[in-house]
Structure 1
Amino acid sequence: MGTILKRTEASSPKDTLKTEEYIHRIKSIKSRLQQDDLDQLEAEIEQLTEARPERVGGYLLKVEIALRNSDIEKAIAVLEKGSLKCADERIKIQLTILYSKDRRFEESIDLGKELVERNPDNLTLCLAYAKSLGAIKKITESIRILKKCLTIDSNHIGVLNELAHIYFKIEDFEKAKSLYQQILEISPSKGISWVNIGNIQVKNAEYQDAITSYRQSLELDPTLSEAYYNLGQVYSNILGDKGKSLEWYQKGYRLGKGNSSTVLEILAIVTKWQLADWSSYVSENERLRNLLLDYLNQETIHNLVPYELSFAGINPQVYMKVAAKYSNAIKESLTVSKHNRSYDHSIGEGKVKVGYYSPNFRLHPGGILVRTLFEHHDRSKFEIHAFSLVSSEDYVKNDIEEATDYFHDVSKMTSVEIADFINREKIDVLVALAGYNTQMKLDVLALKPAPIQIMTLGSHETTGSSFIDYVFSDNVASKEQLKDFYSESIITLPCSTMFNCPLPEVNANYTNRADHNLPENKFVFASFNHPRKLDPATIDTWVKILQASKDSVLWIYHGGIPKVAQNLKDYFKKKGVFDKVVFADRVEINQHWERIKHANVLLDCFTYNAHFTAIEFLRCGVPMITLKGDSHNSRLGSSILHFAGLSDLIANSVEEYIALALDRHKVYSFKEKLAEKNQLLFDTWMQVKYLESAYKKALDMFQRNKVESFKVKPLLPFDSK
C-alpha cells in the first residue's frame, strides 16, 4: 500500500509534493489498480489531485476507476472539473470521447472540432468525433474524417465498422457490404460483421443469403443476440414461418447476451401464443408483464414492434409506452443528409391534396378494403394520390390506379426520396393505410413530409409517435378512457372506422359442404380470423358453445400453419370436442369467398376482433357475433356490426355471447336480413364524405396552429333498419 499524503499547516499542498514524487505515486497507483481496493486508491488519487491540480495524471486515473465501475457520468464530471484547473489537452480529448459515448453529441463536436485537427493521428479521438457527427446526421463530414483515419491505418476495425454503418444508414449497401467483408478479412472471428452483412441482404430481399449470414455469425459467436433476433424476424415477418422464428427467439434468450435477451423472450412468448400453444399461458402471462416493464427501463439494440403485442391483450398504458419507444427509435435512426432542413408545410390554394400511403395497394385485404373508396371523392374539391410501397400487377392495383388521380409506385425509392417526393407533390393530408409492419417504411412518416398525417387500418391502437397527428375512431369503437392511451388526437367519425368497400365479384367454382368436410345438416360456427388472434378465453368459450349446441360443428381456419393445426387439434382433444371441429385450409381468395356461404355464423375473437374477415362474412351474407371489449381492437367488431345495422349481435358479456350463439332463430333472422341488404350493407360514398369533412377540419385547425381531437358531424340520422 502507498503512503497517504500528509499536509502541514505551514506548507501548501503543492509545496509538499515535488513533480518527481507525484509521477512516482501515480505510477504506483496504476500498478495497484488490478488488486487493491478502488475506494482506497481513489482517496489517494484525490489527495494527489488536490496537491497538484495542474497535473493531468490524477484526473485520468479517477476517470479510469469511474469507467471500471461503469459510471460514465462521474468520469465526465471529473474531466469537466479538471479542465478548469489543468491545461493538459488530454483532458479535453478524453472528454470529447466520453461525450460521444454518453450520446452528448453536440458537446462532443463542439469540443472536438479543433482537437481533431491538431491530433489527426489519435484515431480514438477522431473515431468518437466522427460517430458524433454521424449521430446528428452530418454525414458528409463524418465520412471525410473516417476516410482520413483510414489513410493513417487502413485496417482499423473501429473506423471501418463506423464507416460501414454510415453507408448502411444512407442506403449505400454496396459500399457498406464491402467494408464489412474487409473487416472479416482482417479479423475472421468478427461474427457481428456477418450480422451486418445479413442486414444488407435483407434490405436487398436476399433472404436465404441473409439467413446463411446470420447462422455464420452464430458459428463464430453463439452469444450474438442480434443474429437470433434477426433470424426470428426474417422467418416470422418475411417468410411467414412462425415455428422457425419461435425456435430462434427461444435459443436467443437462452444463449444470447445483453439486453436484447429481454426482447427475444417477449417475442418467444407472443409467438408461442400465436401458434396456439397456451400450455403455460398463466405463468407466461405474468412473465410477459414483468418482461415488458424491464424492457421499458432498458436501452436495447432492438425495439419491440408494437403490432406483435396487439394480440396479447396487454395493458393499454404499457402498449402506448412500448409504441412510443419504438417510434422514438425510428426518429433517432433517421439518416437524412439534409437533417437541418425542414419541409415546407404551407397549404396551397385550390383543391385539397390527399395522399394515401400503403404497401397494400394490391390483392391484399388492405387493398380490397379500399379498392373502390377513392372513386367517391369529390374531384372538384380534392385531388387524390396513392403512394404504393410495393410494386404489383393485379386487378386490385389496377382498380385503385384507375380510381385515383395519381398513382405513384415508390417501391424502388429510399425513405428519404419518398418523403421528398411526397412533399414536392404538396400533399396536404397524408393517410397511412397500414400500421407497424415490415413494408410500411415508417421513417418516411417520421420525416413529416405532409402537414397533416393520419394513420388507420392495420392495428387500430396508438402509434405512440409524435409524427402521426390523428387516428380515426367512432363512438362505438372508442370510449372515453381509451383516449388517454393515444399519442395522437382522435377524429371520431359518425360511421364505421373500418373502410369497407364491396368485395370484388366472386369468380370461383361452386362447392357444397362436403367439399369442405362439413356435415350437410349441422349448424356451422365459423372462425376464419388469422390464428394469431386466438386466445384461451375465446377458444374456451367456443368449447362451451359446442358442448351446449347439438348438431353443430366449429369450422376453424389454421392459417395453413402446420404447428397451429397440430396445437389446435391437441387443445380440442383435451377439451373433449375434437369430433365437432373441422379445419379449413388456405385457399385462393375467390374460392374462400365462395365457401363462406356454408357457414351459419362467424364467431369473433375477444382480444383482437375480426377486421377484414368481418367485412368478408357480412358482405357474403353471414352474420357475426362479437363481444365488446375494453380496447380499440376488441371493440372494432362491435363498430362494424353497429354500423351494419346488426347491433343485436353485440354481446356485453361472455354469457351473453354464448346465449347469442345458441339462439339459432336470431342467427337465421339476421342471415335473412343480410341477404336483403346484400352489397348495400355499408354506404361507402357517405363514408368518404365524412373523411373529406375530417380532412378539411384538420387542415383548418392546422392553419390555426392547432391539433386536437374532434368529432365529424353526421350528415343524416343513422338508420340501422
Structure 2
Amino acid sequence: MCYACSPPSARRGPRSSPGPRRRRAKDPYDDLIRRPHRPRVRRRPRAGDAHRRPRLGREQDPAGERPADQAHRGVAPRGEPHRRHRARRGGDATGRRDRQRAAEVHQRRYRLRRRPRDQDGRHHAARLSHQRGHPADPHRGGAGDRPLARQDRPRPGAGEGLTAFPPDNALSRGLEHHKAGRWQQAAGLYLEFLATHPAHPAALHLLGDASCRLGDPETGIALIRKAIALKPDYAEALNNLGAQLLALGRRDQALASFRAAVRCKTQLLAPLINLASLLVERGEAEEAIGLARRATQRDPSSVEAARTLASALRATGRLAESAVVCEQLVRRYPTSADLHNDLGFALASLGRSDEARASYLRSLELAPDSAHPLNNLGTLCRAQGRLDEAVEFFRRALSATPTFAEAMHNLGEALAAMGRTDEAVTALRQSLAWRPELAEAWNSLGNALRQQGDDEAGASAYREALRAQPGHAGALNNLGLLQWHHGEVSAAIGSFREALRSQPDFDRAHSNLLFALHGEPSTTPAELLAESRAFELRHAPPRASLARPHHPDRTPGRRLRVGYLSPDLRQHSCAYFLEPLLGAHQREAFELFAYAEVRRPDAVTARLRSLFDHWRSTVGLSDAALVEQIRADRIDVLVDLAGHSADNRLTALLARPAPVQVTWLGYPGTTGLSTLDYRLTDHCSDPEGESDAFHSERLLRLDGGLHCYLPHADAPEVSPLPSSRDGHITFGSFNQLAKMNDGVVAAWSRILRAVQGSRLLLKSSALSQPSARSRVLDAFASHGVAAERLELLAWTASTRDHLQLYQRVDLALDPFPYNGTATTCEALWMGVPVLSLAGGRHSARVGHSLLSLVGHPELVASSVDDHVDRAVELASDPSRLAALRASLRDEMRASPLCDAPRFARSVEDAFRRMWSALP
C-alpha cells in the first residue's frame, strides 16, 4: 500500500483592497495621542453615514495595522457610543466612496510594511494544517501562509484611562514608538509610565506585546496576563495573549484565551476569526463554521471573516459552499490577486482543475511576484502527474519568496514522487528549518525517509508531525501503514481508526483499515461486511450528485466496451494475473479501455498499454472528472482491479459511472459497495452457501478458478532439492510480515522443533529494518526457536534474483488466515511445494484454490494441527519432495492456472451474462 497522504494547505490573506488611491487613511489613534479627549455630541443618523465612518484594519497589532489587514470594526473611546461600520458595495456613490477608503487603508499598509518588524514567523507560525473533507487534495501547503492568529492593537476603549493623561505622557509617546515599530524605545517609556501607574491594564498589555516582539515571549505573556487580571474582560489583551501562546505552540492555552475573548462584550472580529481558525486546525470545523458566520453577520463586509468561513466549510467537506463564498468575494473585489488565488484553491478542491488554473493565472496577472499562486499551480501540476512542471513552479515560488516553507515542502514532495529522494529529504528538512511546527512537512519527511529505506526515522518524523499537530490524520494513516508493513497489525488498525476519528471522510485511511482487518485473525466475515458497508455510508453522500441513470445500447451481439480500472498497471504482482487475460481477449467481441492510476509508468506499463484499445490516465482526475470520462467512453462493463488496496478509486464507483460494475483480483473480500454489482471468484475460494451472505456484491464463480498466472519470462530453471546439498530441510515464506501473526509463528515454530536441524528462510522488505528483525526473532524465540535457525532477507536486485532464492527452499509455508497469492504461484513455478491451511473466508482459502488448480489439494490442511503434521511428514520424505520439485513446473504449465485462452473465455462469458441480466 502507498504511504502518501493528503496534506493541508494554508491560505494567505488578501494583501490589498481593490479601489483607486485617493487620499491618506486617517489613523484612528491620532486623536487619542495628539489631543485630549473631548466627548462628542451624538447627532441623529443621516443617510450615507455608513460610508463616512473610518474603517480599521481587522488584523491589528498593539501599535499598528499589519499589511495583511482587511476590514474590522473598532471600539469607541470612553464617552463615545459603539459604532457599527457597515459598508455597502455597488455602483452608486456610496460604493465608490467605500472603495476609496479601502484604497487609503491599502496605502497605509504599504507604508507599514517598510517599518522594522520582529520575525513574522513568531506571529505567523500557526497555520491551518489540514483540509478536512478532501484527503486526496493535491494543494497541500499550497494557498499561502495566512497567519492563524490575528492580533489587535489596543483600541481607544481598550486603553482605558489613557485620555485622562496629557497627550505628551510616557504612555502616549511609547505608543507612538510602538506604532513605528521601535519596540525598545516603546518598552522604555511603558516602564517609565508603569513606575507611577503600576496597575494600568493598557500599559501592561503594550509592554507585554513589546517584550514579545523583542524576543522575550515569556515575559511578554506574563505582563499580558497581569493586564487581564486587572481587567478580566479585556478582549484585546485576551486575543493577543492567544496569539502569543499559539506562536509558542501552546494550542490548548491559546484556545482558552480566544474563547475568553469571544465571551467578552466586544465588537472585535479578531477573536471570532482566530478561534474559528484554530478550531479548523483541531478538526472541530463545525463549531468553527458557527463562529465564522457570527463574524460575517457582525461585519458583512469583512473579507477575512468570509475567508475563514470558506476555510471552515471546506474543512467539513462542504466544498461547493466554500467555493460559493470565494466566488462572491471575487465578484466584490475583482482586482484582488489573493482572492483569485483563494478561488483557485476552492475550485481545485472540487476537482475543477482547469478553472482553478485560470484563477491562479489571473492572480499572477494581478500580482506577478506573488509566490502563492505559483505554489498552487505547482501543486495542481503535481496532482496531475506533471512533475517537471510542478518543480519549476515551486522553484519560481521560492525565487519570489526565498523562505516560503510551504513551497519548499511541496518541492520536496514533488522530488520524492520523481524518485529523487535525497533531494527531497534535503528540501523537506529545509522547510522544517524555516517552520519546525509545520506538521505536513514532518509527515512528508517521514514518507521520503521511508523511500530511502529508513523506517525508523520515518516513524520518528510521523510522531513529530503528531506532536506538532495532535490528531494529524495523514501522519496517523502513514504510521498505520508502517505498522502494517512491520507486521504490527493490531497497532495499524488502531492508527487507521484514530485517523478516521480525526478526519471522518478520509477514504484512503478507511480503505487501509478494511485491508488491515484481513490480517487480523479474530476478524469474522460478518464483521468485515459490516465494516465494509460503513465505507459506502460514510463516503457516498458527497458524491450522490454525480450519479445519473444509464441508457445502455442493448443491440444483441454487439461489441462490448469493457473498462479496467487499476493503479497496478505496472511492475506489480497483479500484472502477472491481468496480462494473460488481456492478451487472450477476443478483440472482435470486446473493446478494451484502461483507466490507469499509474503515477510512475515502467516497462510493464508499456507492455500492458499495448494490449488495450484505449488508454486513459486517471492521475489527477477528481471523482467527478473520472466519472464523466467513463460515461463519455460509454463503458458497458467496468472492472475494478484494486478493491480497498492502495490508490484505489472506489469513491468514483459510488456514482456508478457504468451500468455494470465488477470487482476482481486486487482485494481478498467484499468492498461493501452496493454500486458494485458482481465479484468474480470461484467455488473453492468462496463456497456456495458459506460466503454469499457476507458480500455486498453478487458472487459470480468462474468454473476454472479466478486466477490465471503468467510466469516471469526470466525465471531461472528449477534446481535440485536443496536439502540434498545442504544436509538439512529449509522451509521458506516470502510473504509480507503482516501475514505472520502470532498463530502462524506458533505453528511454524512447532514444525521447526519437530524437524531436526531444519531452518526457516523468510523474505520481506520490512526485514531491512532492525526493529522488524528483532520483533521476528523475539517472536520465534518465545516459542523456543533460536535465532541461528532463521535467515531473514529483505531485498534482491531483480525479480530473477528473487526467484533464484527458491533454489534454497525445500518446502514453502503459506501464512494463515491471510494466504499468499503471487508468492504461492512463484514457489510452485520454481518447483517448491506450498503447504496451505484453508480457513473460513476468501483470504484464507486462496491457497486452497491455487493448489487445487495445479492438482495438489493434498497440500491443503484443514486445521493448525493438520498443517503441522503434513509439514513434518513431507519434510521427512526427501524422495517425495524431489519428485514434486521435478514435476511441479510442468504440472502448473498444463493446469487451468496457466491456460489463458480458457480463462479469457470464462471471464468473457461472465461479462455477457452480466450484460444480459440488466433490466
Same fold (TM over 0.5): yes
- Against the structure 1 CA distance between its residues 650 and 150, is the aligned structure 2 distance closer, same or farther, given a 3 Å change threshold? same
Equivalent residue number for residue 253 of structure 1: 463
- Against the structure 1 CA distance between its residues 105 and 581, is the aligned structure 2 distance closer, same or farther, given a 3 Å change threshold? closer
Q: Letter of the aligned partner of 1:456 in structure 2?
A: W
Secondary structure of 2:81's aligned partner? helix
Equivalent residue number for residue 305 of structure 2: 94
Structure 2 matches for 1:619-634, cutoff 5 A? 619-634=829-844
- Against the structure 1 CA distance between its residues 345 and 34, is the aligned structure 2 distance closer, same or farther, given a 3 Å change threshold? farther
The structural deviation recorded for 1:493 is 1.0
Provide the TM-score with structure 1 as the length reference. Answer: 0.71
Secondary structure of 1:457's aligned partner? coil
The structural deviation recorded for 1:672 is 5.8
Secondary structure of 2:580's aligned partner? coil
List per-residue Cα deviations over 1:121-176 (Å, max 9, x = no partner): 66776655554344334445545555555555555565555555445445565665
Secondary structure of 2:346's aligned partner? helix
Secondary structure of 1:525's aligned partner? strand
1:474 to 672, 679, 682: 682
State how far apart, in whole Å, the 2-side matches of 1:138 and 1:470 are: 31
State how far apart, in whole Å, the 2-side matches of 1:367 and 1:139 are: 31
Q: Letter of the aligned partner of 2:915 in structure 1?
A: L
Structure 2 matches for 1:528-543, cutoff 5 A? 528-531=734-737, 533-543=739-749
State how far apart, in whole Å, the 2-side matches of 1:392 and 1:671 are: 38
Equivalent residue number for residue 106 of structure 2: none
Equivalent residue number for residue 298 of structure 1: 502
The reply to whether residue 698 of structure 1 matches residue 914 of structure 2 is yes
- Against the structure 1 CA distance between its residues 59 and 321, is the aligned structure 2 distance closer, same or farther, given a 3 Å change threshold? farther
Q: Letter of the aligned partner of 2:906 in structure 1?
A: Y
Equivalent residue number for residue 131 of structure 2: none
The reply to whether residue 639 of structure 1 matches residue 699 of structure 2 is no
The structural deviation recorded for 1:539 is 2.4
The reply to whether residue 22 of structure 1 matches residue 228 of structure 2 is no
Which piece of structure 1 moves more, 104-113 or 629-638? Answer: 104-113
The reply to whether residue 548 of structure 1 matches residue 761 of structure 2 is no
| Partners of 1:262 and 1:291 within 8 A in 2 | no
The structural deviation recorded for 1:547 is 0.6
State how far apart, in whole Å, the 2-side matches of 1:79 and 1:359 are: 40
State how far apart, in whole Å, the 2-side matches of 1:529 and 1:381 are: 38
The reply to whether residue 216 of structure 1 matches residue 454 of structure 2 is no
State how far apart, in whole Å, the 2-side matches of 1:331 and 1:204 are: 35
Equivalent residue number for residue 617 of structure 1: 827
List per-residue Cα deviations over 1:46-68 (Å, max 9, x = no partner): xxxxxxxxxxx849588458638
- Against the structure 1 CA distance between its residues 438 and 74, is the aligned structure 2 distance closer, same or farther, given a 3 Å change threshold? closer
State how far apart, in whole Å, the 1-side matches of 2:764 and 2:461 are: 26
Structure 2 matches for 1:138-217, cutoff 5 A? 138-150=352-364, 153-154=367-368, 161-162=375-376, 164-169=378-383, 176-217=390-431
The structural deviation recorded for 1:215 is 2.7
Provide the TM-score with structure 2 as the length reference. Answer: 0.58
| Partners of 2:813 and 2:835 within 8 A in 1 | yes
Equivalent residue number for residue 655 of structure 1: 865
State how far apart, in whole Å, the 1-side matches of 2:507 and 2:430 are: 20
1:351 to 559, 569, 575: 559
- Against the structure 1 CA distance between its residues 343 and 181, is the aligned structure 2 distance closer, same or farther, given a 3 Å change threshold? farther
Which piece of structure 1 moves more, 660-669 or 220-229? Answer: 660-669
Secondary structure of 1:472's aligned partner? strand
State how far apart, in whole Å, the 2-side matches of 1:126 and 1:362 are: 39
List per-residue Cα deviations over 1:410-434 (Å, max 9, x = no partner): 6798658998876665443233445
State how far apart, in whole Å, the 2-side matches of 1:427 and 1:348 are: 13
State how far apart, in whole Å, the 2-side matches of 1:537 and 1:549 are: 19
- Against the structure 1 CA distance between its residues 206 and 495, is the aligned structure 2 distance closer, same or farther, given a 3 Å change threshold? farther
The reply to whether residue 32 of structure 1 matches residue 238 of structure 2 is no
Structure 2 matches for 1:2-401, cutoff 5 A? 20-23=80-83, 28=157, 32-35=235-238, 45=265, 58=267, 60=269, 63-64=272-273, 67=276, 70=279, 73=286, 76-77=289-290, 89-90=300-301, 94-95=305-306, 97-103=308-314, 104-110=318-324, 113=327, 116-120=330-334, 128-150=342-364, 153-154=367-368, 161-162=375-376, 164-169=378-383, 176-234=390-448, 236=450, 239=451, 243-254=453-464, 256=466, 257-259=468-470, 261=472, 263-264=474-475, 267-268=478-479, 271=482, 274-275=485-486, 285=490, 287-299=491-503, 303-304=508-509, 306=512, 309=516, 312-313=519-520, 315=523, 346-347=552-553, 349=555, 350-358=558-566, 365-378=573-586, 381-384=589-592, 389=598, 392-393=602-603
State how far apart, in whole Å, the 1-side matches of 2:432 and 2:614 are: 41
- Against the structure 1 CA distance between its residues 424 and 343, is the aligned structure 2 distance closer, same or farther, given a 3 Å change threshold? farther
- Against the structure 1 CA distance between its residues 556 and 696, is the aligned structure 2 distance closer, same or farther, given a 3 Å change threshold? same
State how far apart, in whole Å, the 1-side matches of 2:724 and 2:480 are: 34
State how far apart, in whole Å, the 2-side matches of 1:419 and 1:686 are: 32
Which piece of structure 1 moves more, 63-72 or 617-626? Answer: 63-72
- Against the structure 1 CA distance between its residues 525 and 346, is the aligned structure 2 distance closer, same or farther, given a 3 Å change threshold? same
Which piece of structure 1 moves more, 220-229 or 312-321? Answer: 312-321
Q: Letter of the aligned partner of 1:22 in structure 2?
A: H
The structural deviation recorded for 1:94 is 3.4
**Gap runs ≥5 in structure 1:** 1-16, 46-56, 334-338, 705-721
Equivalent residue number for residue 458 of structure 1: 666
- Against the structure 1 CA distance between its residues 542 and 31, is the aligned structure 2 distance closer, same or farther, given a 3 Å change threshold? same
State how far apart, in whole Å, the 1-side matches of 2:259 and 2:738 are: 54
- Against the structure 1 CA distance between its residues 330 and 169, is the aligned structure 2 distance closer, same or farther, given a 3 Å change threshold? farther
Equivalent residue number for residue 53 of structure 1: none
State how far apart, in whole Å, the 1-side matches of 2:903 and 2:432 are: 52
Q: Letter of the aligned partner of 2:426 in structure 1?
A: T
Identity value in percent: 19
- Against the structure 1 CA distance between its residues 222 and 455, is the aligned structure 2 distance closer, same or farther, given a 3 Å change threshold? farther
- Against the structure 1 CA distance between its residues 227 and 484, is the aligned structure 2 distance closer, same or farther, given a 3 Å change threshold? farther
List per-residue Cα deviations over 1:413-465 (Å, max 9, x = no partner): 86589988766654432334456677777788789765444333333245566
State how far apart, in whole Å, the 1-side matches of 2:289 and 2:475 are: 33
The structural deviation recorded for 1:253 is 0.8
The structural deviation recorded for 1:21 is 2.1
The structural deviation recorded for 1:627 is 2.4
| Partners of 1:525 and 1:555 within 8 A in 2 | yes
